[in-house]
Amino acid sequence: MIQVHHLDSSRSQRILWLLEELALGYEIIEYKRHPDTAEAPETLKKVHPLGKSPVITDGELTVAESGAIIEYLLDKYDVEKRLRPTDGQALLDYRYWLHFAEGSLMPLLVMKLVMMKVPSSPMPFFIKPIAKALTGKIQDKFIRPRIEPQMAFIEKTLGEHKWFVGDALSAADIQMSFPLQASSTRMNLAAFPNIARFIKQIEGEAAYQRALSKGGAFTTL
């Protein structure tokens, strides 16, 4: 039986969704974030040294990191290759978006979140104006010029077809779900109607809803 070491409100929600799409049986082992720091509990380090989620165990095997887990599950269980293209440009595009999610987009969204939180963090009152000015400059000069072209490229892609790689759901859509849901809480999507449509679309998928009911309340941090 596959075990999903599932941290609440984390990337592991994507793995539950994938397992539901594959119609695989699995067991959820739940971990709760610290109420003050939102950090994962130390007990996760018993499964993987970094103590991060998602991690799955499948018999004697342990697999960590979302992209690696997705590739493992598809290689072993998606024998009909329903959730990934098999060749040509579609396969290359699939691989691109599978790795783009965590390799390009998510680091910028994490930086943006940190910059948004710094000014409201506890600090001496006379430091706050400096912190606000500094984080604002980092956002304006570094984060925004990098994240906006990425969002525009995603918007264009989703304007050309229903999913990231054509008209059928693939694991690339599952991988891209988390950063785009996170983007909706960190920036105004009014200029990105196709991204907003995609988020609404994935959240309406039956397998996504089943995963949500099993994994519990979900918000991106």
Higher pLDDT among residues 188 and 194, named by residue: 194
Q: Looking at per-residue confidence, does 135 or 81 come out higher?
A: 81
Highest mean pLDDT of the ranges 7-16, 30-39, 127-136: 7-16
Backbone angles phi, psi at 161, to 5 degrees: -160, 170
CA angle in degrees (0–180, nearest 5) for 31-35-39: 60
Tokens (6 digits) for 218: 């979900």
The one-letter amino acid at 22: L
pTM above 0.75, yes or no: yes
* Alpha helices by DSSP H, 78-192: 88-100, 106-117, 128-138, 144-160, 171-186
Lowest mean per-residue pLDDT among 90-94, 142-146, 147-151? 142-146
Q: What is the spatial distance between Cα 100 and Cα 103, in angstroms, rounded to a whole number?
A: 5
**What is residue 220's predicted lDDT score, i.e. its pLDDT?**
65
The domain made up of 2-83+209-215 is a member of CATH 3.90.180.10: no
Average pLDDT of every residue of the chain: 90
114 vs 161, residue with greater confidence: 161
Query: What 8-state DSSP symbol labels residue 101?
Result: I
Encode pLDDT of 53-65 as tens digits.
999 999 999 999 9
Return the closest-CA partner of residue 161 out of 194, 191, 196.
194
Domain-wise residue ranges, the chain: 2-83+209-215, 88-205
Which CATH code, of 1.10.260.40, 3.30.420.40, 3.40.710.10, 1.20.1050.10, is assigned to 88-205?
1.20.1050.10
